[in-house]
Structure 1
Amino acid sequence: MSDKAPPLAHSVCVVIPMYNGADSIEQTLASLVGQTRLPDHVIVVDDGSTDDGPQRVKDFAAPFRLTLLQQANEGQASARNHGLRHSEETFVALLDADDQWRPQKLEKQLALYDELSRQGRPVGLIDCYTQVNYSDGRQQVDDRCKNGRHFYDFIHANVVNGVSTALVKRDVIMHFGGFDASLRYSEDRFMWTRIAEYWEIHTVPQVLLDRTVNSGNMTAQPQKYYLNKIRFIEVYLARYGAQLSKQQRIDFVLGNHTDFLNAFSRRGEHAQVIGVYRQMLEYSWQTLIFANGKPTLRYLYARVRSLRKATASTTAT
């Protein structure tokens, strides 16, 4: 007779926000059908789509309970909250409409949760490694491994390997009322930070998600998202600024601006690089030496290119 404890009884609801996801939603749902441990309930929240994605969900033959909810376009945070409110399961697993899980994703995460729970660990979230597939053919693996308390790590970066990796206790995420729907960018990082303040975060050290990054993401359209990032900085500091040291606040603000300064620089948008850098410098002189001086070098390069362009324009006239 085995002395290994039987697996704990769990139920899992997968929440998928979808906006014009007709090209990918069937592959995403098929990745759930292929799970070695099927989800108990899948909720797709149509966030005001104008394509036939909702009909494709209705027509999909699923071996699990599949619910389609619809709302006006209000953003991913609002769509996820809509799905969360209609879930009743023990766990919520988040999945974007253009990502796919590998077959053992749920099985491995639930097994890790059971193991940690038997040890008495206060687990709030479990993620996994991610294979990131860019639309231009590039690939990378996001493999940040967590194994406990990680609140202060979120000052420097979103250390969860993509929102579609997250398996969360429903009562944990609902403790905060769901995602902050006022945020249109980094709403997941804010939620993970709030969870990490009270609970542990752990990782299955295996690639169990294929994530698609296309032309609509921040790297391709930084101007579209930059103001939303500034809003995230404001919300984060309003909630946590008082409990961070001055240096931690500086690192947080400069790090978040640097993400976009780098994106603008890669696209050759020199005026935007200069604008972001000036905002950073207004916040702290440490901008000059932040990240080994790389933002300063990008700023100087942008200044030189802008001056050359202005000189060439003057000469031409």
Structure 2
Amino acid sequence: MKHRVSVILPTYNRAHLIGETIQSLLEQTLVPDEILVIDDGSSDNTPAVLARYQGLRVVRTENKGKASALNLALTLVTGDLVWIVDDDDLLLPHACKALSAPLENEPGLDFCAGRHLDFEIDEDTGQKTTRPPGYMRDSSPEQIFPDLLEGCHVFQPGLMVRKCIYDAAGPFNTSLVRSQDYEMILRIARYHRGMQLSEVVFLHREHSGRRGSATDGFAATENAERWAAFNRRIFLPLLDDLADEELLAAKDLEKLPPALRRRAARVKRGCVLARQRMWPEAIAAWQEAAAMNSTPLAELEREMLARSPNSALGAPELLADVDVRRGLVALSRMTSPGPEMAATLRQASRWHVRAAVRAGDWRRAAQGVRFLLAR
């Protein structure tokens, strides 16, 4: 029997954008069975925009934030497969069919994720330009969770999940104004089996509008700082709870001799912390790793260290924080493989200095030079 697909579309004050999103849903080659819109107390023209469309189920609530809207929606939808869509993105026509087909065909599959491109509209010309996202990985099923630890490459509009899996995972965290979707996919991917498609299924809009709820809104320019702050609240307890075997995919562990696996897991922990902009904690993890085993770095460990400075959230603390610089110097003065680890991190950080020079940010460029030369 064919599964029913329920779309959940939470919205707040996006009257100028949500119509395009709804239209992209209605133009799917496989039209969803249900589109549930949770209007989270919009004070703009959103109700009038929603009234133009037939076939929507609209529930209007007091403004409590996106997580609360999603939790309410999950108690109301009737479908077997749940597709949560943001109110400012555009779904490509084949998205519903592409995401639902693997779940229809493989009973043991719990979620299916597609890819996305970022886009923006020039306010003067109306021209749309697209570009690759800041972070994307080609994740095999067993690698989705380890890859998600380094950055979110599975966005909700590109994700379809069995309703029973959302029920098992529990509600969205209402204390998170940002990254509540990231925290949920981490929860799901840690314990459930999914797959990532090679296809792009939606366009993720970049725009200058405000984010958040009525009581905790923020400007687009604060995005990275907000992400970093909320991700810190997510990742510190999560990393404390993770076993070494969860940090690395099985195929990566198999590449390593048993004596190096514990150290590699500690290197990965530092990589995750760094990419989530927790550099002091990352340096401490790498110092612990260096003290575990004096063997030169394995290729996998060098790759993880080289990725560490290149987060989509940026890395302002890396060059500017004196304690981070001192920690890296201490790492370089340890016995092997400490110097090799520090050299790999410095090499991978050079692009930050070049970027500062290109931007004419001479203060930051000078910080970067001090960072690279510190010994």
TM-score interval for Structure 1 and Structure 2 normalised by the shorter chain: 0.7 to 0.9
Report if the CA contact (8 A) 1:254-1:290 is conserved. Answer: no
User: For 1:247, which of 261, 267, 287 is the aligned residue?
Assistant: 267
Q: Deviations over 1:155-210 (max 9, x none)?
A: 222231x2211111011012111322222222222222222222222233222212
User: For 2:349, which of 293, 296, 299 is the aligned residue?
Assistant: 293
**Corresponding residue number in structure 1 for 2:89:** 99
Instruction: Find the aligned partners of 1:260 and 1:14 in 2 and give their Cα distance.
Output: 28
The alignment's TM-score, normalised by the length of structure 1, stands at 0.76
Runs of at least 5 residues in structure 2 that lack an aligned partner in the other structure: 123-127, 212-218, 248-264, 278-308, 332-340, 367-375
Report if the CA contact (8 A) 2:228-2:276 is conserved. Answer: no
Report if the CA contact (8 A) 1:20-1:49 is conserved. Answer: yes
Give 2:64's aligned amino acid: E
Bigger CA drift: 229-238 or 281-290?
281-290
Runs of at least 5 residues in structure 1 that lack an aligned partner in the other structure: 1-7, 265-271, 309-317
Q: Provide the aligned C-alpha RMSD in A.
A: 3.4
Pairwise CA distance, 1:98: 0.7
Q: Deviations over 1:69-90 (max 9, x none)?
A: 2334333222222211211210
Cα gap change, 1:179/1:53 in structure 2, threshold over 3 Å: closer, same or farther? same
**Corresponding residue number in structure 1 for 2:314:** 262
Q: Deviations over 1:49-95 (max 9, x none)?
A: 221113321x1332x3x222233433322222221121121010010
Report if the CA contact (8 A) 1:35-1:106 is conserved. Answer: yes
**Corresponding residue number in structure 1 for 2:233:** 231
Report if the CA contact (8 A) 2:139-2:147 is conserved. Answer: no
Instruction: Find the aligned partners of 1:211 and 1:189 in 2 and give their Cα distance.
Output: 15
Q: Give the alignment of 1:213-224 within 5 angstroms.
A: 213-216=206-209, 220-221=221-222, 222-224=224-226
Higher RCO, 1 or 2 (CA under 8 Å, sep at least 6)?
A: 1
Instruction: Find the aligned partners of 2:185 and 2:163 in 1 and give their Cα distance.
Output: 13
Q: Give the alignment of 1:146-295 within 5 angstroms.
A: 146-149=139-142, 150-160=144-154, 162-216=155-209, 220-221=221-222, 222-240=224-242, 244=247, 245-257=265-277, 259=311, 262=314, 277=321, 289=345, 292-294=348-350
Pairwise CA distance, 1:22: 0.1
Q: Does 1:123 align with 2:109?
A: yes
Bigger CA drift: 165-174 or 35-44?
35-44
Instruction: Find the aligned partners of 1:24 and 1:279 in 2 and give their Cα distance.
Output: 44
User: For 1:113, which of 97, 103, 121 is the aligned residue?
Assistant: 103
Pairwise CA distance, 1:147: 3.9
The alignment's TM-score, normalised by the length of structure 2, stands at 0.65
Bigger CA drift: 81-90 or 212-221?
212-221
Q: Deviations over 1:258-277 (max 9, x none)?
A: 6476276xxxxxxx7766x4
Cα gap change, 1:281/1:89 in structure 2, threshold over 3 Å: closer, same or farther? farther
Report if the CA contact (8 A) 1:183-1:232 is conserved. Answer: no
Percent identity of equivalent pairs:
22
Cα gap change, 1:291/1:180 in structure 2, threshold over 3 Å: closer, same or farther? farther
Report if the CA contact (8 A) 1:254-1:280 is conserved. Answer: no
Cα gap change, 1:291/1:124 in structure 2, threshold over 3 Å: closer, same or farther? farther
Pairwise CA distance, 1:16: 1.1
**Alignment coverage as a number of residue pairs:** 285
Q: Give the alignment of 1:43-82 within 5 angstroms.
A: 43-57=36-50, 59-62=51-54, 64=55, 66-82=56-72
Give 2:68's aligned amino acid: S
Report if the CA contact (8 A) 1:287-1:295 is conserved. Answer: no
Cα gap change, 1:249/1:61 in structure 2, threshold over 3 Å: closer, same or farther? same
Report if the CA contact (8 A) 1:131-1:211 is conserved. Answer: yes
